[in-house]
C-alpha cells in the first residue's frame, strides 16, 4: 500500500496528490510517469510526476477529474492509501543542450511542463514557458513557475480572465517568427499539441510532444499504447511518452483515446450516483 501524504485541490477539476514511495522518488526524472491502481477493483492509470523528493521519499502528481478513476482519486485524501504505484516509467525528457527553449503547457499538461521546465533550467537552458488554460481559475502552478529562473512566463486564457486572451499557439508563433527559440516542447491535450507542432513546423523548430495514449501495464507488455510516429508503430510507454511532434499521427491518437469513452461515461455516472446515495 502507498499512503497518501499530500492532497490539494488546484481548481474545480484539477487536484494535486503526494504519495509515500521512496524507491520511486529516488529514481524519478522529469517527463517520466507512474501507473497507479486505487484498489482491488481499480483500473491502472498513468499519471506524470509533477514533483518528487528523494530525501523525503515522496512523489507528486497532478490530475484532472475526467472519469471514474480520477473521480475516485479526487475523493481520497491524506490518511488514505493507494493499492499500487509503479514507476518511474517511460524515457525521461531530454533536457540537456536545449539552448533557447519554449515549453508549452496546456490545461493539466502544465503539471508535466513544470518539472520539465525546472530540469531544463537546471541544465542551463534559456527557458520560456507558455501556460494556457480556458480561464483564470484553471491556471495552475503559476507561483511555482515564477520561482524558476525563466526567461519569461506567458499566460494565455481563452476568455482573457488571466494573461493574454489567446491560444497558446499565438505567442508560440511570435517566438518562432522572431527566431527566439531553438527547441520547443508541448504538453497538454492532443489537439493543443497538434496545433503547437503545426505552428513550429513552419519555422523548422524541433518540437517534442508528450503523448498520452491509453495504457494498461505501462511496461511494454500489452501494446495498448501504440502510436504512429513517422509511419512506424511505437509503444508510448516504453518508446515514449516523448516523441517528435512533427512526425506523430495525432488523428490516430485522438481516435484511439476514444475506444472506451461510452463505457467510461457509464461507469463514472454510476459511480457518481453511488457517491450521492452515500452522502
Ligand X SMILES: Cc1cc2nc3c(=O)[nH]c(=O)nc-3n(C[C@H](O)[C@H](O)[C@H](O)COP(=O)(O)OP(=O)(O)OC[C@H]3O[C@@H](n4cnc5c(N)ncnc54)[C@H](O)[C@@H]3O)c2cc1C
Q: Which residues bind ligand X (CB under 6 A)?
A: 33, 43, 45-48, 61-64, 66-70, 108, 111-112, 212-215, 241, 257-258, 261, 264, 268
**Distance from CA of residue 260 to its chain's centroid?**
20
CB of 238 to ligand X, least distance (A): 11
Give the residue with the Cβ less far from ligand X, 130 or 190: 190
Residues with Cβ < 8 Å from 265, sequence gap 6 or more? 67
Q: Which of 8, 146, 165, 258 binds another protein (CB under 8 A)?
A: 258
DSSP 235: E
What string of DSSP letters covers 128-180?
Answer: EEEEEESSGGG---HHHHHTS--SEEEEEESSSSSSEES-THHHHHHHHHTT-
The correct pick among 123, 153, 224, 247 for binding ligand FES (CB under 6 A) is 224
Nearer to ligand FES, 70 or 169 (CB): 70
What single string gives the DSSP state of each residue in 35-49? EEE-STTPPPEEEEE
Q: In terms of CB distance, is 82 or 129 closer to another protein?
A: 82
Find the shortest distance in angstroms from Cβ 16 to ligand X: 10
Binding to another protein by CB under 8 A, coded x per residue (else -) over 191-220, reads -------------------------xx-xx
In the numeric block, the cell 529562473 is attached to: 149
Amino acid at each position: 500500500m502507498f499512503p497518501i501524504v499530500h492532497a490539494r485541490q488546484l481548481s474545480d477539476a484539477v487536484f494535486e496528490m503526494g504519495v509515500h514511495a521512496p524507491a520511486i522518488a529516488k529514481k524519478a526524472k522529469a517527463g517520466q510517469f507512474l501507473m497507479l491502481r486505487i484498489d482491488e477493483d481499480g483500473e491502472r492509470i498513468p499519471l506524470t510526476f509533477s514533483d518528487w523528493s528523494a530525501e523525503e521519499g515522496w512523489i507528486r502528481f497532478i490530475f484532472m477529474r475526467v472519469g471514474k478513476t480520477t473521480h475516485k482519486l479526487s475523493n481520497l485524501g491524506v490518511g488514505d492509501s493507494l493499492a499500487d504505484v509503479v514507476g518511474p516509467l517511460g524515457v525521461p525528457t531530454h533536457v540537456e543542450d536545449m539552448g533557447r527553449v519554449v515549453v508549452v503547457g496546456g490545461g493539466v499538461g502544465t503539471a508535466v511542463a513544470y518539472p520539465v521546465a525546472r530540469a531544463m533550467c537546471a541544465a542551463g537552458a534559456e527557458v520560456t514557458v507558455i501556460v494556457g488554460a480556458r480561464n483564470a481559475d484553471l491556471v495552475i502552478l503559476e507561483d511555482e513557475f515564477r520561482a524558476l529562473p525563466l526567461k519569461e512566463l506567458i499566460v494565455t486564457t481563452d476568455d482573457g480572465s488571466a494573461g493574454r486572451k489567446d491560444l497558446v499557439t499565438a505567442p508560440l508563433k511570435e517566438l518562432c517568427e522572431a527566431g527566439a527559440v531553438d527547441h520547443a516542447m508541448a504538453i497538454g491535450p492532443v489537439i493543443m499539441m497538434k496545433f503547437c507542432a503545426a505552428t513550429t513546423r513552419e519555422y523548422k523548430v524541433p518540437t517534442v510532444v508528450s503523448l498520452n495514449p491509453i495504457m494498461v501495464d505501462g511496461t511494454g507488455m500489452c501494446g495498448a499504447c501504440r502510436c504512429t510516429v513517422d509511419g512506424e508503430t511505437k509503444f508510448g510507454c516504453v518508446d515514449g511518452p516523448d516523441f517528435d511532434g512533427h512526425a506523430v499521427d495525432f488523428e490516430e491518437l485522438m481516435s484511439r483515446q476514444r475506444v472506451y469513452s461510452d463505457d467510461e461515461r457509464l461507469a463514472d455516472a454510476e459511480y457518481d450516483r453511488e457517491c450521492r446515495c452515500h452522502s
